[in-house]
Every structure is written in C-alpha cells, then in structure tokens.
C-alpha cells in the first residue's frame, strides 16, 4: 500500500473540505489514490467535491488574439507572478497568441515558427527571453477556434492589459446576425464560461468516463436509501440531468439572469454555439509546497 503522507491528507482536505481524519481514512481505503479518495468521501456524504480540480500553481499569462472569423488563445508560463507585469514578457505572450492565428494551436509548430520581426524561431526568442530575464518560461498550450460565418469572441477576466490576464475564454458563434450584436453576445457567453467553468459544449460531448464515474457515485449514494432498484434508477436519471446542468455549457443556467438556459439565449439570438475554450493560468499543474523557514535554515547551515 502507498504511504499516506501528511501532505496527501492536507491536499485532499483542500480539494474536498472534509475533515482531517476522514481524509486520512479515505486515502487508506483507496490505497493512496487521490481521485479514489475523493469518490470515497462523496459516497459517504463527506465531500461536496463534484469535479476533478487542479491546484493552480504556475504563473505567467493567458493571451488572446483575434482575426476575421478566428481567434487564438495561449498560455505562457513563468516562475513568478511578478513577471506577468513585465512589459517584455507581456509583449512576447501577445505575439505568440497572434502567431497562433496563422500557425494553429500545435505548440511544437508554434515554437518552430519564425517569431514576428525576427529571422529566428519562437523557441529561440523564448530562450533569449529566459537568458535576459533570468526566469524559466514555457509555452504550455494553445487553442484556435474558427467559424465559416459569425464570430469567435474573446474574453479575458481581470485583464492586466487588453488581451492578457489569468483566465481567458474563446467562444465560437455561427450566425448571420449583425456583427456587433454577435460580438456582444459572444463576450457575454465568455463571461459566463469564465464563471461557470463548463466541461462540455453539449450533452453528447460529455466524456463517457466522467459520466460513468458520476453514475457510480450516485448509485452508491442511492443504494443506502432502501428503495427498489427501479426507483433508484429513476433517482439516478434525475441526478444525471442535474449533473448535465452543472457541466454542460448549453444546459447551464445563464449567469446574467439566473433563469434562462444558455441554449435558449443563443437560440433567441438566432445563432449556433459551435465551440468554446477556457484557459485558467496554471490549472492542473502541481507546485510542490515549500517551507520558506526550512529553506533559510538549510541555506544558513551551508
């Protein structure tokens, strides 16, 4: 069995809000598997965690850029939040986003592409920037969305400057509507996506593994009710509908009025929502916790 460390217990507690002893027991029961421990706590009613959550640990910027019927978004990471306020770093992130409009969202292709205004590659420019500033940096990911007609709207939450921030969203809308109205709707949907964190565009796009995992948890919860199997299945069906309303963009309640569904808002505008992307800086990247006092003491000992 894997060793259950205090750090693992603390991490699980931060993810679920469950008690320390419950977290330790969950890790023991799951053999040290974090996702299994989360499911164990949920089945026991000890955790409200509904989704896998990554600790946001890296720094840098999310950048967006737009063109006719296309938009791009990239995440460029750095070691410290201070660097996000560095104008040279900001300009680099913005240029990479603009480059993605023509190169696409394959990160290796982006790195190999000639950096705007130079004769060398984007990767070479990045290495140069690392040498100049003295911090490690990387182009972590990119996304490009296109539509044949309509718009791909962009939204940056709490922008440090236009097109740059820590949460970015792309929204692909197809419609023959007036362009300004379409841009406004796209930005509103972008704000919704930033706040509501949908995982899929529509029900058909929900990952089968995630759906099956949710059903298993619900079955375990319902099994203790003592109700007949047929009733339990109906209960699960109802809860799965609720699950879709939580994770599927088109099924979510529109954050701007708290009543309509996103699909109703889009239909009313005569449009079709064909895709979206949401980047939150550092999501899914684990950063080892450090004890600053211990580091200083170790350094003092030479």
Measure the CA–CA gap between 249 and 258, rounded to whole angstroms.
Answer: 14
| 104 and 10 in a common domain | no
- Report yes or no on 161 lying in a domain: yes
Residue 104 is part of which domain span?
59-172+275-280
pLDDT tens, residue by residue, 63-81: 999 999 999 999 999 888 8
CATH code of the domain containing 123:
3.30.479.20
- Report yes or no on 7 lying in a domain: yes
- Report yes or no on 137 lying in a domain: yes
DSSP-assigned letters across all residues of the chain: -----HHHHHHHHHHH---HHHHHHHHHHTTT-HHHHHHHHHHTT-----S-------EEEEEEEEETTEEEEEEEEES-GGGGG-HHHHHHHHHHHHHHHHH-S-HHHHHHSBPTTSSSBHHHHHHHHHHHH-S-EEEEEEEEEE-SSSEEEEEEET-SBTTEESEEEEEEEE--S-HHHHHHHHHHHHHHHHHH--SBSSGGGS-HHHHHHHHHHHHHHHHTT---HHHHHHHHHHHHHHHHHHHBGGGSBPTTTSSSBHHHHHHHTT-EEEEEEEEETTTT-------HHHHHHHHHT-
| 1 and 65 in a common domain | no
Percent of the chain at pLDDT > 90 equals 49
Q: Distances from the Cα of 234 to the Cαs of 48, 218, 228, 240, in angstroms?
A: 22, 11, 10, 10
- Report yes or no on 81 lying in a domain: yes
| 71 and 42 in a common domain | no
- Report yes or no on 301 lying in a domain: no
| 163 and 73 in a common domain | yes
Reported as a pLDDT band with limits 50, 70 and 90, residue 277 is very high
Q: What is the pLDDT of residue 98?
A: 98
| 46 and 9 in a common domain | yes
pLDDT tens, residue by residue, 129-169: 887 887 788 899 999 999 999 999 999 998 999 999 999 99
- 3 or 168, which is more confident? 168
Q: What is the pLDDT of residue 48?
A: 44
| 43 and 5 in a common domain | yes
- Report yes or no on 65 lying in a domain: yes
Res. 49: pLDDT tops 90: no
The pair of structure tokens assigned to 226 is 């003592």
| 45 and 71 in a common domain | no
Reported as a pLDDT band with limits 50, 70 and 90, residue 210 is confident
| 167 and 118 in a common domain | yes
- Report yes or no on 202 lying in a domain: no
Q: Residues of 118-148 as b/e, b for ≥16 C-beta within 10 angstroms? A: eeeebbebbeebeeebebebbbbbbbbbbbe
Res. 171: pLDDT tops 80: yes
Averaged pLDDT score across all residues of the chain: 85
pLDDT tens, residue by residue, 217-273: 887 777 777 777 788 778 788 888 888 999 999 999 999 999 999 999 999 988 899
Domain count, the chain: 2
| 84 and 31 in a common domain | no
Q: What is the pLDDT of residue 24?
A: 87
């Amino acid at each position: 069995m894997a060793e259950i460390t205090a750090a693992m217990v603390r991490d699980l507690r931060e993810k679920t809000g469950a008690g320390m002893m419950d977290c330790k027991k969950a890790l023991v029961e799951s053999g040290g598997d974090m996702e299994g421990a989360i499911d164990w706590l949920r089945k026991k009613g000890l955790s409200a965690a509904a989704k896998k959550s990554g600790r946001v640990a890296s720094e840098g910027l999310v950048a967006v850029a737009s063109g006719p019927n296309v938009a791009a978004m990239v995440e460029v990471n750095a070691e410290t939040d201070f660097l996000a306020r560095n104008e040279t770093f900001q300009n680099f992130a913005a240029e990479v986003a603009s480059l993605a409009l023509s190169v696409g969202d394959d990160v290796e292709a982006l790195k190999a592409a000639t950096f705007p205004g130079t004769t060398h590659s984007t990767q070479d420019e990045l290495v140069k920037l690392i040498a100049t500033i003295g911090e490690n940096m990387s182009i972590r990911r990119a996304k490009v969305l296109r539509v044949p007609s309509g718009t791909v709207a962009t939204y940056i939450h709490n922008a440090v400057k236009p097109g740059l921030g820590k949460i970015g969203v792309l929204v692909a809308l197809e419609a023959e509507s007036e362009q300004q109205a379409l841009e406004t709707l796209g930005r509103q949907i972008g704000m919704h996506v930033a706040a509501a964190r949908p995982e899929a565009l529509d029900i058909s796009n929900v990952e089968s593994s995630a759906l099956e995992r949710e059903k298993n948890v619900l079955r375990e919860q319902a099994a203790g009710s003592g109700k007949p199997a047929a009733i339990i299945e109906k209960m699960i069906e109802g809860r799965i509908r609720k699950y879709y309303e939580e994770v599927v963009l088109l099924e979510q309640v529109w954050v701007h009025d708290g009543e309509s569904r996103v699909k109703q808002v889009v239909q009313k505008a005569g449009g079709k929502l064909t895709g979206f992307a949401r980047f939150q800086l550092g999501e899914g990247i684990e950063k080892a916790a450090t004890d600053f006092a211990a580091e200083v003491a170790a350094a003092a000992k030479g």
